[in-house]
Structures are given as C-alpha cells and as structure tokens.
C-alpha cells in the first residue's frame, strides 16, 4: 500500500514538472534577437576617372637668338594660366595605388617675343601641352600621396615673324620630352576627389632661326606647373 502511495506521488510530481515546462515554453523570450550586422563599404581608389584642373605655369628656360654682330642676344622667361582636363585609371593593392593618366592643357607659358640685333619680333604666348604619365602612390584611407612621370608633348608659345632680308622665321611646332611631378589627392566622397599637383616639364630644344642653311637659335623649353583639380570616379 505504501509503495502505491509513493508511485502515485512520483507520477503526480512528474506531471506537474512537465506542465510547468510546457507553460514556460509558451511564454515570450526575455532575450532580443541579435541585430543584423551591416558592414560599412570600404573606400577604394580603384576605378576610371575624369576631371578638370586650373593652375599656373612658369617658363624656367630661356630663348636666345644669334646675331652675327652681337652673338646670342635676347632672352625671356614668362608665365601664365594653364587649364584643361584629365582622365585615368587607378588600381589599389593594399595601401599602394598604381595608375595611368593623360591630360591636355591650354597654356600661356611660352616666350612672347624675340630680338634679332635691334629688331624685336612680337610673338604669341598661347599654346597647349599634354602628358601621358604613370602614377604610383600610398593611400591613407581617403588621402592619396603620389608621384608621377612620363611622356610630355607641347606647342607652347612662339614667334612667327619673318624678315625677308634676314630670312628669320620662328614658327610654332609640336615636340616631345618628359615630365616628373607629384601631388596629394583627397576623396571628399566615394565619387569626387580634389587634388593639388605639381609638374616639371622638359621638352626637346629645337633650332628655329634659319639664315640660309645656318641654324643658330637655341630654345630651351622647360616649365613648371602648379595646379588644382577635381576628379569624378566611376563605380
């Protein structure tokens, strides 16, 4: 009889525990689900871009002309406005950014005139120059510090006066050379970046003064450029 009583009590306790567990399972959970994790997109310099720039250029070379009586006479250095557009592509590897860029610029940095003896020939300073360059830089998140260098070409300034007696003529012509420089660029958004850049351009010296079959003129074509620009990067 005592055994039956113990069995009945054990069965009753088991049923009570099962009911309590079932009720607890039906109650709402006290813990909120883990919030979804949305990672912020990481900025990258990789991509094609186009842009525009404005700045100042100054001629660091000289333009001298040979006078049979006076030797080399006349020289001039000048500077002025430069402005144009650029396009290129960057590829980012870790902190390093490799790229290529080409640009074309309107420039007023040519020598404006020439003297031959006591005669002065007025010239023009308008022209253009362009570059095709490699770029390599180090990125600090949205800031990029880079160096650049490559091929340069130009037709900057010139004097097209002609003396029918002396046979003097200096005309514009396009010639090539090289350029080196560097800059700093900062991405103000995922698509827009602003930059400040400096370039040194050195182009082939060319003889342009003709007297019979004599070529006596020496024109040094070297100039520096400091410019600011904006780029738009395509995603």
Whether 158 has a pLDDT exceeding 80, the answer reads: no
Q: Are 51 and 232 in contact (CB under 8 A)?
A: yes
Phi-psi region of 7 (alpha: psi -120 to 50; beta: other; left: phi over 0): alpha
Q: What is the pLDDT of residue 107?
A: 84
Over residues 169-219, the pLDDT tens digits come to 444 456 788 999 999 999 999 999 999 999 999 887 554 544 554 444 445
Q: What is the pLDDT of residue 230?
A: 98
pTM: 0.68
Over residues 56-71, the pLDDT tens digits come to 988 765 555 555 555 5
Considering the chain, what percentage of its residues have pLDDT values greater than 90?
A: 41
Over residues 63-95, the pLDDT tens digits come to 555 555 555 555 555 678 899 999 999 999 999
């Amino acid at each position: 009889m005592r055994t039956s009583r113990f069995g009945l009590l054990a069965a009753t306790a088991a049923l009570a525990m099962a009911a309590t567990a079932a009720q607890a399972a039906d109650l709402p959970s006290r813990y909120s689900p883990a919030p979804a994790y949305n990672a912020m997109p990481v900025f990258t310099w990789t991509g094609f871009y186009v842009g525009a720039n404005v700045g100042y250029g100054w001629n660091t070379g000289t333009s001298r002309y040979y006078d049979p009586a006076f030797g080399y006479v006349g020289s001039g250095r000048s500077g002025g406005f430069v402005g144009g557009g650029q396009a290129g592509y960057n590829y980012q590897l870790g902190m390093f950014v490799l790229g290529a860029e080409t640009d074309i610029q309107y420039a007023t940095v040519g020598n404006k005139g020439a003297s031959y003896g006591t005669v002065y020939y007025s010239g023009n300073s308008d022209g253009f120059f362009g570059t095709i360059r490699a770029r390599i830089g180090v990125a600090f998140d949205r800031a990029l510090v880079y160096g650049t260098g490559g091929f340069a070409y130009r037709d900057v300034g010139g004097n097209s006066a002609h003396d029918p007696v002396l046979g003097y003529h200096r005309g514009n012509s396009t010639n090539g050379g090289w350029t080196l420089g560097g800059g700093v660029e900062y991405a103000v958004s995922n698509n827009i970046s602003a930059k400040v850049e400096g370039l040194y351009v050195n182009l082939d010296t060319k003889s342009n003064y003709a007297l019979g079959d004599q070529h006596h003129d020496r024109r040094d074509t070297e100039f520096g450029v400091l410019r600011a620009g904006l780029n738009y990067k395509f995603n």
